[in-house]
Amino acid sequence: MKKKFVKPIIQGIAISLVGLCFNPLTNNAAEEKAIEKVDIDSVFDIPTISGKTNAAFVENNEAVLTNSGNYQVGALWCKPGYEIDLSKDFHMIAHISQESIDKTDATAADGMVFVIQGVEDGKNPVWFTYPGGSLGALRGSKMDTNLAGSSKEPGIPNSIGIEFDNYFNHPNNSGVTYNNDNYMDKKLGKSSNTKLPHSAVVYPNGGVDAGLSKPNVPTYEAYWDGGLIVGKWQLAVNHYNTQFYYNNELSNGRYNRFEVIYSGGNLSYKINDLPMQTVDKNMFMYHVANTSNSRAYWGFTASTGPSNDKLTSTQKVWFEQVPNLVNADTTVTLLDEVGKPISEGQTIQGGEEVTVKAKANWIGGNQNWQNLVISTELPDSLELVADTTTLDGEKLDDSKVWSRGNFTSPTIAKLGSNDGNTQTDSEVVFKVKAKNDKKYEDQFFTFNFQGDNALYNDIKSTSFIVDIADLWINIVTPKEGDVMYYTPYTEEQEPINVHVNWGEESGNGGKQTLKIKQEGQADIIVEEADISGTTGDWNVDIAKYIYSNDDRTTEIPFGSFSLEAILAPQSGNSTSSIVNLSKKSPPFIVNMDTLEGKIFNRGQTVNISGQLIDMDSNQLTYHLLLDDVEVFKLESQEIEMGQNTSIAFNYTIPEDYTRGNYHATFYAEDNEGHRSKVADLGTFTIDGIFNLNVPSTFEYGKVEIGNKNYLVNIGDVEVIDSRITKAKWNLNVQLEKNFSKTLAEGKEQITPDNFFSYHMGSTVKLINSSTSQSVLENQLVGEEELGIILPQNNQDGFYIKSNTELTKGTYEAVLHWSLDTVP
């Protein structure tokens, strides 16, 4: 078979996240991707503590923290490398489920806590505490009798918790607690309702205010238990940012979306569609960020109630986004018609074009950003400019990425530098045009950047205003940055149409002008025309300024130029529209010598030659392709600009290429990346070799005179035939003259014709100077690569016959081998 060629595929704020949104997006620009769960085992550990049992386990890529057993405590914490850095922003989205036996608050207990624990050098972290009302993170509920300022059972140190508590630990008005001895939720207020599920910020190991020596920031208060348990004081934790739930939301087993955002040192969180909660920054810094470094562990703890109360819950969590999986920057930039960024609140006139750029930039993380899709929706004030949408510089088909003002990019496989990947950013660019029908306030773009393992949603551009323009002109085509290509030796050139539209509110008439402007050249007035009415269109062909003409009087030089359309109404005011363009000449292949039907061997040199011209470049790179795959590239070859240039270079066929037919093509490329058309060099054949290898000399040694035959091995005689289509051939051998020796008197003694012979089975062929003998024939015609060795074994081979008439001495001869093809 032929050697196979594989074509190469040159396919907001910095936060760390994973996955996709749970609740519907506020921007309906595109259908959401299915939510991908973070691989829990790669990011999290289920830690152990000596003498305690961690009830947590992983099932279906979800962490089950408690499974309805009584008095359970479970915990899940990030692995090393996934800690958060409190000097940097981060973002986490989890989905939590708490399901009681009957899916109501009546049997639910106790709850779970999202915990951030500051790393303290030299000290081990505390992964969980106690079951029941401590929720696996808080202090134990009982104080020492001497009120020494700390409970017997401390909470998780240097930490903040956001609790989801589905049991109300509170004494009634008579002082008796509903769960015997726990005051933990007393500070939420007195109530006869034993079921008051809530979420709140807590500080698990904060100080205790017992009316004695207060810590700087107490987060617990101590209460005498009313004599219920002699000599005991009860702890109640302070709750902050409290939200209550009255419809079994924390016990029905449904998943609640829990989002945590840390930005600029401020911690906020959001549960489903409830209002965003912002944590007191001073409290957070005091309790969590006061350790010897800025690193912090994060995870979840959970607990259930005692068996005698039959109050339990199955509590689970899975993750949509986690810190340090993917860190990225996402930006949305708007540019006006001259390429300047549009500032916040800037006014855009109807008819003006705006360039929109949305960029995703991977800046770090443990994984590459996978299968990224960028999406948005056009604001009401804008309409898409056709055929302007690109992804990483490659033009996209509008019909495939736009639908009713909604944009969805093709999937971007990977961004990042992990695992040998090289692409770290991707950018969508397109142009829009402002409508001119009314005034639009507070307009902006909202982009979503959604990948399998990271998402950035609701990334907004600067806001702007679109106002009605009473005087405007716009060059619709060509577009900003378009290249006008000049191609020599082309008799019929295509028209280059400039399409202009305009509006003038008064309708009093005026004049429109189209100019070509080029640095160092006088302005060229292409055309002038009168206007009438309030709106209009104008089409002008500028081909004669780009292509050659008979006297070359109108052709502009190569390089950058601009078109300016000017609208000057009778009122005396005027307006204009400018697009910047360029005139370029791609390399043009005048002719190339064909390789059609030629046959080459591996290792042989192939000459590539022809003529080409380039009107605005003096250096080209040559590309040779076999079966559409580039096999040779010759860079920075000097040519004479504007003149026919003969080119020639050699390509050596590699030894490892498989025999077969190869289709050769060629193109040239200038330093700006402009390419010639591809020239067809024809189909040639890489064939095998047809060759004969024989030993240069051989010696047999002593032979006794006496009509005896001696089998002699003259060394390997090999015919190599690796041609694709083989013809029949004969291997012939003949003596230049019979074996002979020189006598003393200068005469020669010549052996008889039967002295040297070749035997194959019963066939004997005499090898002498009289005639050439065929000793090996090939009858095979096929594609196999063959190496055939002339048989020389126990009976077959060359023989010497020691005739009695010979005298003693050394006899020599020269063998002539020939390899002849047979018709």
Query: What one-letter code names the amino acid at 583?
Result: K
CA distances to 235, 242, 290, 775 from 155, rounded to whole Å, are 12, 20, 17, 99
In a 3-state reduction of DSSP, which class is residue 196? coil
Intervals of CATH 2.60.40.740 along the chain:
327-461
Whether the predicted pLDDT of 672 surpasses 90: no
Burial class (CB in 10 A: 0-12, 13-18, 19+), 767: buried
Burial class (CB in 10 A: 0-12, 13-18, 19+), 452: buried
User: What fold, for 690-822?
Assistant: Immunoglobulin-like (2.60.40)
Intervals of CATH 2.60.40.770 along the chain:
588-687
Q: What percent of the chain stands above pLDDT 90?
A: 42
pTM, full prediction: 0.52
pLDDT in tens, 76-113: 999 988 999 998 888 999 999 998 888 887 778 889 99
CATH number of 588-687: 2.60.40.770
CATH number of 45-140+152-206+240-321: 2.60.120.200
| 67 vs 13: which has the higher pLDDT | 67
pLDDT in tens, 462-510: 999 999 888 888 888 998 888 888 877 666 678 899 999 888 888 888 9
pLDDT in tens, 207-217: 665 443 334 45
Q: What is the mean pLDDT of residues 263-272?
A: 93
CATH architecture label of 471-584: Sandwich (2.60)
Domain 327-461 = CATH 3.30.70.120: no
Strands 599-601 and 679-687, bridge-based pairing: parallel
pLDDT in tens, 755-799: 899 999 889 999 999 989 999 887 665 555 567 888 888 789 999
Whether the predicted pLDDT of 264 surpasses 90: no
- Is 791 in contact with 775 (CB distance < 8 Å)? no
Instruction: Report the run of H or E that residue 390 belongs to, with start and end.
Output: strand 390-391
What sections of 256-337 are H helices per DSSP? Answer: 281-287
Which CB contacts under 8 angstroms, 24+ apart, belong to 218-224?
Answer: 219/287, 220/139, 220/151, 221/186, 221/187, 222/143, 222/147, 223/183, 223/186
pLDDT in tens, 222-252: 666 555 544 466 777 888 999 988 888 888 8
Least trusted range by pLDDT, from 189-203, 357-371, 499-513: 189-203
What is the largest distance, in Å, between two alpha-carbon atoms of the chain? 148
Please, which residues have CB within 8 angstroms of residue 734's CB and are 6 or more apart in sequence? 767, 768, 769, 771, 772, 773, 815, 816, 818
Intervals of CATH 2.60.120.200 along the chain:
45-140+152-206+240-321
Annotate 94-124 with b (16+ C-beta within 10 A) or e (fewer): bbbbbbbeeeebebbbbbbbbbbbbbeeeee
Whether the predicted pLDDT of 192 surpasses 80: no
How far is residue 823's CA from residue 815's CA, in Å, rounded to a whole number? 25
